[in-house]
Homo-oligomer: A and B are copies of this chain.
């Protein structure tokens, strides 16, 4: 050990995550990052290696936060339907509040569609959403909340796909009614 770092690395990752989330990878320049993090380029490269590495780290951070939120809602709820509805409504409200952000995972999927390290993380994040939902749906089924003919894995894959669509439509600013109508129909898949 020698001189100690003057900034908090985790907090810097959070701030970078926010910037990448709003502007995307390519549209966020190194100078934008340095300004946002209030550090010099020497500190930047010593701490993060490169812009790409920081992006992947920010993406991991985002995925972890997203996964936490999802699991928390699914575990705290006593009924599956209000839980799923809450998950979808939360996203709709987030997109209405700030349509420029969308979802960092979705943004990465479309912007970095042919860069293996990024797409692997995207796939892993979606697989995690799928399995969390599938587990909750399976438990709901054993509690008798879902009829016997329902397939939890199928439902989970449907919901995971629908969620990605909600985020895209949310960025297109089609209005509250549009997404709420879509939500109404989607929820019927559980009936």
Contacts and interface: CB of A to CB of B under 8 A. Distances in A.
A109 B189 contact: no
A27 interface: yes
Given A181-B158, A182-B161, A185-B189, A171 B109 contact: yes
A174 B109 contact: no
A114 interface: yes
A89 interface: no
Contact of A179 (B26, B106, B161): B161
A166 B168 contact: no
A86 interface: no
A174 B123 contact: yes
B126 A172 contact: yes
B171 A166 contact: no
A127 interface: yes
A83 interface: no
Interface stretch (A10-18, A48-56, A66-74, A149-157): A149-157
Contact of A158 (B24, B106, B111, B185): B185
Interface string A107-124: 101110110000100110
29 contacts: A24-B110, A99-B113, A100-B114, A102-B110, A102-B113, A106-B110, A109-B171, A110-B111, A110-B168, A110-B171, A119-B173, A126-B169, A126-B174, A127-B174, A151-B181, A154-B181, A154-B184, A157-B178, A157-B182, A158-B181, A158-B184, A158-B185, A160-B169, A161-B162, A161-B179, A162-B162, A162-B165, A162-B186, A167-B168
